[in-house]
Chain A
Amino acid sequence: MKRITTWCLLLLFPVLAHAQDPKDYYGGWIADLDGVRQTFYLVIRDGAVTGTLCHDCDNLANLAFVDDGTLSSEGLDFRLYYYPSDRALYTEAITATRDNAGLLVTGLGGRTTPVRFHRDMPAPNTPPAPAPETQMNPRPNLSRTDWVLPGPAETISPDKVAGTWLYGSGPGKQWFMFRQHKDGLRGMVCGPCDVVSAMAPLEKIAWSGTTLHFEIIHEDNGFGYLDYGPFSNVADAQIAKHEMHMAVTTSYNPPDTPVIEMTLLGPVREKP
Chain B
Amino acid sequence: MKHLFSLLLCLLPLTLEAQDRQDYFGGWVAEHDEGKEIFYVVIRDDGIRGFYCDACTHPDNLAFIDDGKLAASGLTFRLSHVSGQETVTAVREGDALLVTRGARAPVRFVRETPPATPAPVNRRPNFPVPMGKTVMPGEAEPISPASIAGIWLWGTGPGKQYFLFREYQGSLRGMVCGPCDSVNAMAPLEHFSFGDTVMHFQIIHEDNGRNVQLHGPYSRFTDAVLSRNELHISAHNSFNPPEAAPIEMTLLGPVDRVSP
B126 touches A140 (CB 8 A): yes
B256 touches A270 (CB 8 A): yes
Closest to A166 in B: B252
The verdict on B230 contacting chain A, using a C-beta distance below 8 Å, is yes
The verdict on B2 contacting chain A, using a C-beta distance below 8 Å, is no
Q: Mark B151-168, 1 if CB is under 8 A from A, else 0.
A: 101001110100000000
Given contacts A150-B156, A241-B160, contact A169 B125 (CB under 8 A): yes
What's the least CB distance linking A190 to chain B, in Å? 12
A151 touches B158 (CB 8 A): yes
Residues of A within 8 A of B57 (CB): 241
Residues of B within 8 A of A242 (CB): 151, 153, 160, 255, 259
State the majority secondary structure of interface residues on B.
loop
The verdict on B32 contacting chain A, using a C-beta distance below 8 Å, is no
The verdict on B182 contacting chain A, using a C-beta distance below 8 Å, is no
The verdict on A148 contacting chain B, using a C-beta distance below 8 Å, is yes
Closest to A171 in B: B137
Q: Mark A73-98, 1 if CB is under 8 A from B, else 0.
A: 00000000000000000000000000
B256 touches A267 (CB 8 A): yes
The verdict on A220 contacting chain B, using a C-beta distance below 8 Å, is no
Residues of A within 8 A of B153 (CB): 242, 265
What's the least CB distance linking A75 to chain B, in Å? 37
Inter-chain CA distance A190–B239, complex, in Å, is 42
B135 touches A134 (CB 8 A): yes
The verdict on A58 contacting chain B, using a C-beta distance below 8 Å, is yes
Inter-chain CA distance A169–B231, complex, in Å, is 10
Closest to A268 in B: B229
B250 touches A266 (CB 8 A): no
Closest to B124 in A: A140
User: What are 12 A-B interface contacts by the 8 Å CB criterion?
Assistant: A136-B135, A137-B129, A139-B125, A140-B125, A150-B157, A166-B229, A168-B125, A169-B134, A170-B134, A170-B137, A241-B57, A269-B256
**B residues apposed to A, CB below 8 Å:** 57, 120-126, 129, 133-138, 150-151, 153, 156-158, 160, 228-230, 250, 252-257, 259-260
